[in-house]
Structure 1
Amino acid sequence: MNRFKASKLRHTEARLPRREAWTGGLRAGSVSSCGNQVKASCQWVAFSAEPTGVLGIVPLEGKDGGKRTVSQLCCHSDVVTDFDFSPFDQLLLATGSADETVKVWRLPESGQDLPSSAGLTLGPGGGPVDVLQFHPTADGILASGAGKRVTVWDVGQQQPLAALEPHGDQLQSLAWKRDGRLLGTSCKDKKLRIFDPRAGPAASQPLDTRGAPASCSRDLAQIESPGKHPGKASRDTRTTRTPGCSGWAPAIASSPWGSARYAPHCLGFPTPCQGHGAAAPRISWVPARAPARHGDHKARAPPAALRAAGRGRGDSRTATDAASLSLQMREREVKLWDTRKFSGATFTLTLDTSPGAMIPLLDADTGLLVLGGKGENLLYCFEVVPAQPTLTQVTQCLTEGRTRGLAAVPRLALDVMACEVLRVLQLTDTFLVPVSYIVPRKSVQEFHEDLFPDCAGVLPATDAQAWWAGDSQQVGKVSLHPARRPTQTFRSPVIAPVAPSTRLPDDGPADSDRSEGSGYSSPSGSLASPSSAATSLSASTGPSSGFVSSPSQKSLQSILGPSSRFRHAQGAVLHRDTHITNLRGLSLTTPGESDGFCANHQRVALPLLSAGGQIAVLELSKPGRLPDTAVPTIQNGTAVADLCWDPFDPRRLAVAGEDAKIRLWRVPEGGLQDTLREPEAVLQGHTEKIYSIRFHPVAADLLVSSSYDMTVRIWELGAGQEVLCLQGHTDQIFSLAWSPDGRQLATASKDGRLRLYEPRRSPQPQQEGPGPEGGRGARMVWVCGGDFLLVSGFDSRSERRILLYRAQALPDGPLSVLGLDVAPSTLLPFYDEDTGVVFLTGKGDTRVFLYEVTPEPPYFLECNSFTSSDPHKGFVFLRKTACDVREVEFARALRLGQGALEPVAFRVPRVKKEYFQDDIFPPTRVWWEPALGAHTWLAGEDGQQRRADLRPPEMTPVSQAPKEQPARKFVPAAVYLGEKTDEQKKEELLSAMVARLGNRDDPLPQDSFEGVDEAEWD
């Protein structure tokens, strides 16, 4: 390349579109990670969003230029630290999180639904996942970095192919070489490393960014052997005696570094990153030669180069004064390195002085490099010329908002007819702004081949197993010419299509029944177990390949399967006037078998951290701020293990203590005025600490308890004595639940077994079946009228999941299994029998899952989940009478936060709220009134509670609402008048013209003029 030849990109301009083309209404997340925070494929854009564990998903292009609506994908139970799109399958998205897992998702086609769960999960690993990147040539290979380790995964097999040697400190970035043979990393120890994962786990030679290789000052040119076997893969390591170093140094075989087209160029950017130390290098590979004009095959490959940019401690100048000055001034630099000469940078460019972290975006086809600092509004654009080597500034762009993240749009999505050579997406606090880099040309009616050389296509060169076996084929090139551009698409086989459940925007205006808010999010995205995946796939599958037009609503329904009436349910925290605030000294040590606190429609009981097992009782009718002084409490005398209100007596509270006793307390009418020290009754019989207690759902004065002594005891409270004792457990009892009719009792145990008792018939279980794996905990609830049991627990990988059993067929195992996420707390289920919706959340979670449970496949229909801003310590639901049916509120709960008790309302969006929604509110069972007494139930009789209508007297059921008459459409007058012939039209036209001219028989104006007298002519 002629060094004096002017670059064709020297006049490149950065253009910001009008605000109408921006994507607004975002809530960008403040994630403490080194990721770019936003990534793009040819179809979708993903970005970090609020709240925790959520990604925003938005179409890259709006339909017919329309508005792009943002949807939310709830990915993980913790912060999403990094994510990446596959370079081949434009719908394949990998996400990494602080929960130590990597999840791979298949996003839907435009206008379809988000997946209800991730396609697969990798991990959990040895720490929070920091960085992710798909392989550039092979499908199904993903590199992830966590802590000090890098793992190369075979995504399809969900197995690691290679675990590279640990780094000296926190890993901060990684990048595949463009030919897919080498992997470069940067680390907090200020060293850049290059790996050949197929050759071995060790790095070829780490580079200290302060100026020299970590092990020796010898460059790598004598270690490698360029020119031998070009293009051939090698998994062997070559040992070569290196002058100046003791012993033998391992070296990579020549072929990975000797490629004439892609020599080992790498970009490193030592910039600060929140939560990752003062200097966080960012690394990228640079092509071996400058991008040539289309058809130019004479450019020679210069020496391999590595670029690094940074500030502060990342400075690599050797002079002491310069280094200290750079550290004090926080200078940010871009450096160009030759990987065969690691003794020093071949080119250094000082950018500016700023503490912001720098995000690099390199387009290897054009050589354009865009740099933007986090928290800044300036974007630099350079042209990289490795042959010089040098970096030439092309332009810079001042943006309106400050940068949260940057992403480059794939070249196949560029507007080539507008001479757009690069497009960058800037993520700000509330907007996603496209910045187009355009080369001005006189003609925009033709394709400029010199600006758009052939680029890598979307068909992978090989798969994971073939690449690992040594196949190093390169991805085929495709033309960007609109007439020659290939139309085929690729769908990776690593993930089969999954059943979606939350509506995505159709690249246009949002649906009328969609509402936006911070209190709810789209359905969860997490791994489903194999059995649940099979159930979902058998129920509904989405399209697997091709860009096809949207099907009709009927055909789409047949493809997607059934959906829930409550899929758009919204959870919202009620006004602050209803909160009870200034809660202090709450106990955080209640056992996992306890809900943490309990409530009824009048009051709430909260265990306190004070000695003696104190319990605060607060009246829900008296919201507001509690005084700073101590409030009256119940002195239980021993630490609280579990507590429960009597459903039939809102003043009676049962408290299980760690001293194996159950104490019954009666709260005075109107609430506690003084401290209670004497219980109403004490139940004794257990010999070990009590796990949990539950009142009978139908009969009054009956209580059941489970204990460490492996027994379940039923107490008659009127007599204050034990009446039944159930046996058969061999390990800790996690949970117990009465059937809705009170005839049966189900338990879940640490021994992995579910047991079903009929207490009045036998003390031994009537049925046993397999339960959740592991010993971390389980909960259960009866659903679908008592015909099924829903159990929440964990699998062998500590993933939380829910299982559905047929109550009369426990030995047959679960009918369906659905994986949710990875979290330490057990999911606490609450089932609303009127709507069939189950609510699931754990202590310490920020999210409440909602599913409609059906007795037929697919059994679980996912609904919008509720997400809170901070973790809750407990979540308890109230009875139906607490719901505001006028606002279509079908459930109300109390959320115990850090220092406040907040009511949460769950509503269904409806248009005609003036009518009573009788399809949402059937007659409800009055479970707060007993159907019979304890003695009657023990004698063998059963009772049935009455049902009550929730409809206010002044409201009309929506099923009886008058039907609206359809609006009459406009009909042109020609329909009524009929079509006229040409002669009729001509006659009418002439008549109209004559009418405008007036009557032609009228006298002319001059006829009325008077002449002069005859005598005047003389």
Structure 2
Amino acid sequence: MAFMRKSKFRHVFGQALKRDQCYDGVRITRTSWESTYCAVNTKFVAIITEAAGGGSFLVLPIGKPGRVSIDNPMVAGHRGAVLDVAWCPHNDEVIASASEDCTIKLWQIPEEGLTANLEEPVVDLVAHQRRVTMLVWHPTAMNVLLSGSSDNTCILWNVGTCEPKLQIDMPDQIYSGSFNLDGSRFVCTCKDKILRVLDTHSGEVLQEGKCHQGSKPAQCAYLKTGQIFTTGFSRMSERQYALWNENDLSSSVVMEEIDSSNGVMFIFYDPDTGMVYLAGKGDSLIRYYEVTDEAPYVHYLALYQSNSPQRGIGYMPKRGLNVNNNEIARFYKLHNNGLCEVIPFTVPRKSELFQDDLYPDTASDVPSISADDFFDGKNAKPLLVSLKGGFASSKKEILKVQRRSNILDKMPAKAQQQSNNAEAAAAPALPPQSGKVDGVDVKELMKEVTELKEKVNAQDKRIGELETRLAALETSNNTDEEEVA
């Protein structure tokens, strides 16, 4: 009778939006890697797509659903298939992508969305020897990203300086990973069926133990309480979930069988409510549970069921939800027919007032510490924000300037764009002969082109100097503000 316990989330229900409020016509990737193929934040939904001769993904504004045209602009810079994408938790316009071409690329998405194909990343992170399969951002430190690869390594990056700061050699392929609340620990599942908890400052394995014993990829999520939630398969290929104590992985606190389907179950965790949503590849349903500190710890609530299986799925961060409708979760479900369906989950209540018990203060988009602080050994819990009255993004201009001033080996974006335009304008090759072509004097034309190039180069140099001075002024102002504070 444990499932009949009282809970304010007992009657949570999901209701898919009408087709015209969803995205249609998406050519979803056909890669076989076990990924969600989708990442969502408060401004955009990113979907990995099928592309000939390379890797690409769509970035679609949250507020502009509808049919996606076949020539819709996309992010297309990888030479191999894209395997994972992850939005920066501290800047809604920055996204990282991992690919079979062994690289990680970071992209700055224009505030209004893409108007043309984006092919030049802000940063290339190159260190892995084989395909990169997993990306996880640090929850509280600015510009810290963890990547996992088929070369059996995890790397912690300082994205702002393009540096691989810590490489952790693993015994086998990493399948999934998750940071704890303050980012001081990281849990991961591996092909060798061992669950490991690592120290993110030293790379030391703090705890390890046998996880699910099936051969398919297990998934994991670090809970706010310090417990670890996993999904996987038994030796008999039955799907399971389990709960673990982070300080003792010798045996699970709870392990329950779910069913005998064969799709990998992805975990979506809401630290504010303690709810866990499980969405299986190829399933047509989403199960949800509440994790508490009372036995049996994991309490089944209900499930959302539809007629179509999910090929991939994305999960909206808490700060992107509609608090006026008592929305506590929102999923973006990818169908095999190219539909990206939007499914809000709500708690039915008659009152139109803000529901404090449903929306405790949640993690904001402001980092708690800098990358340098983190790599110096510091940890910090997330900075919290109230969702009363809705969430407004913090000013991102400062973060952009900091990013540019950190990335020393890249031309500032504006100068790069002008340089690209100039090169494109000068691209048509002129005949090498002297004389006239179609009544135009070639020598005179060559002279004009040379002068134009010199002017563009001078402007590029000037813009670069101005960008550098602006970055220096911003840094100086930030330092002065910190001293005053």
Range class of TM-score, shorter chain:
0.7 to 0.9
Equivalent residues of 1:635, 1:675 under 8 A apart: no
SS in 2 for 1:682: strand
Out of 297, 300, 307, the residue aligned to residue 862 of structure 1 is: 300
* Matching residue of 1:14: none
Letter in 2 for 1:806: N
Distance in 2 between the 1:642 and 1:929 partners?
24
1:638 aligns with 2:80: yes
* Matching residue of 1:740: 181
Letter in 1 for 2:152: M
With over 3 angstroms needed to count, the CA separation of the structure-2 counterparts of 1:949 and 1:681, relative to structure 1, is closer
Equivalent residues of 1:590, 1:596 under 8 A apart: no
Deviation, structure 1 residue 590:
4.8
Deviation, structure 1 residue 627:
2.7
* 1:423-450 deviations in Å (ceiling 9; x for gaps): xxxxxxxxxxxxxxxxxxxxxxxxxxxx
* 1:584-611 deviations in Å (ceiling 9; x for gaps): x22121511x221212111122222122
Out of 340, 347, 352, the residue aligned to residue 908 of structure 1 is: 347
* 1:906-950 deviations in Å (ceiling 9; x for gaps): 11222x322332222222222x22111100111112223332222
SS in 2 for 1:935: helix
SS in 2 for 1:673: coil
Equivalent residues of 1:883, 1:892 under 8 A apart: yes
Deviation, structure 1 residue 563:
4.0
Distance in 2 between the 1:601 and 1:657 partners?
24
* Matching residue of 1:445: none
SS in 1 for 2:205: coil
Structure 2 matches for 1:948-963, cutoff 5 A? 948-952=385-389
Distance in 1 between the 2:56 and 2:174 partners?
25
Out of 886, 892, 899, the residue aligned to residue 330 of structure 2 is: 892
Structure 2 matches for 1:493-892, cutoff 5 A? 499=1, 501=3, 562-583=5-26, 585-592=27-34, 594-611=35-52, 612-727=54-169, 729-760=170-201, 762-783=202-223, 785-811=224-250, 813-892=251-330
With over 3 angstroms needed to count, the CA separation of the structure-2 counterparts of 1:942 and 1:764, relative to structure 1, is closer
With over 3 angstroms needed to count, the CA separation of the structure-2 counterparts of 1:884 and 1:850, relative to structure 1, is same
SS in 2 for 1:621: coil
Greater Cα offset, 607-616 or 717-726? 607-616
Letter in 1 for 2:176: S
SS in 2 for 1:881: helix
Deviation, structure 1 residue 902:
2.1
* 1:604-623 deviations in Å (ceiling 9; x for gaps): 22222122112222112211
Distance in 1 between the 2:363 and 2:204 partners?
31
Distance in 2 between the 1:809 and 1:587 partners?
39
Letter in 1 for 2:184: R
Query: Once superposed, which parts of structure 1, at least 4 consecutive aligned residues long, lie more than 6 Å away?
Result: none
* 1:471-497 deviations in Å (ceiling 9; x for gaps): xxxxxxxxxxxxxxxxxxxxxxxxxxx
Distance in 2 between the 1:673 and 1:696 partners?
30
* Matching residue of 2:379: 942
Distance in 2 between the 1:878 and 1:703 partners?
19
Equivalent residues of 2:37, 2:83 under 8 A apart: no
Distance in 2 between the 1:615 and 1:886 partners?
32
* 1:642-679 deviations in Å (ceiling 9; x for gaps): 11111112222211111221111222221111112222
With over 3 angstroms needed to count, the CA separation of the structure-2 counterparts of 1:640 and 1:632, relative to structure 1, is closer
Distance in 2 between the 1:618 and 1:803 partners?
35
* 1:36-69 deviations in Å (ceiling 9; x for gaps): xxxxxxxxxxxxxxxxxxxxxxxxxxxxxxxxxx
SS in 2 for 1:649: coil
Distance in 2 between the 1:631 and 1:794 partners?
39
Letter in 1 for 2:271: E
SS in 2 for 1:936: helix
Distance in 2 between the 1:632 and 1:717 partners?
22
* Matching residue of 2:426: none
Distance in 1 between the 2:207 and 2:363 partners?
28
Distance in 2 between the 1:885 and 1:703 partners?
30
Q: TM-score, normalised by structure 2?
A: 0.76
SS in 2 for 1:644: strand
Equivalent residues of 2:181, 2:381 under 8 A apart: no
Structure 2 matches for 1:179-578, cutoff 5 A? 499=1, 501=3, 562-578=5-21
Equivalent residues of 2:183, 2:200 under 8 A apart: no
Distance in 2 between the 1:750 and 1:797 partners?
17
Structure 1 gap ranges (5+) = 1-498, 502-559, 954-1018
With over 3 angstroms needed to count, the CA separation of the structure-2 counterparts of 1:629 and 1:725, relative to structure 1, is closer
1:933 aligns with 2:370: yes
SS in 2 for 1:718: helix
Distance in 2 between the 1:642 and 1:945 partners?
24
Letter in 1 for 2:8: R
Larger relative helix fraction: 2
Name the Cα RMSD after superposition: 1.8
SS in 2 for 1:937: helix
Letter in 1 for 2:95: L
* Matching residue of 2:427: none
Deviation, structure 1 residue 630:
4.7
With over 3 angstroms needed to count, the CA separation of the structure-2 counterparts of 1:590 and 1:644, relative to structure 1, is farther
Distance in 2 between the 1:866 and 1:638 partners?
35
SS in 2 for 1:568: coil
How many residues are aligned here? 388
With over 3 angstroms needed to count, the CA separation of the structure-2 counterparts of 1:564 and 1:623, relative to structure 1, is same
Deviation, structure 1 residue 872:
1.6
Distance in 2 between the 1:500 and 1:946 partners?
35
Deviation, structure 1 residue 626:
2.4
Distance in 2 between the 1:815 and 1:568 partners?
27
Equivalent residues of 2:189, 2:219 under 8 A apart: yes
Deviation, structure 1 residue 569:
1.2
With over 3 angstroms needed to count, the CA separation of the structure-2 counterparts of 1:607 and 1:952, relative to structure 1, is closer
With over 3 angstroms needed to count, the CA separation of the structure-2 counterparts of 1:578 and 1:777, relative to structure 1, is same
SS in 1 for 2:15: strand
Distance in 1 between the 2:32 and 2:108 partners?
22
Letter in 1 for 2:208: E
Equivalent residues of 2:79, 2:101 under 8 A apart: no
* Matching residue of 1:437: none
Identity %: 32
Equivalent residues of 2:319, 2:362 under 8 A apart: no
SS in 2 for 1:573: coil
Equivalent residues of 1:686, 1:707 under 8 A apart: yes
Distance in 2 between the 1:952 and 1:614 partners?
37
Equivalent residues of 2:31, 2:81 under 8 A apart: no
Deviation, structure 1 residue 826:
1.0
Structure 2 gap ranges (5+) = 391-485
Equivalent residues of 1:714, 1:722 under 8 A apart: yes
With over 3 angstroms needed to count, the CA separation of the structure-2 counterparts of 1:676 and 1:766, relative to structure 1, is same
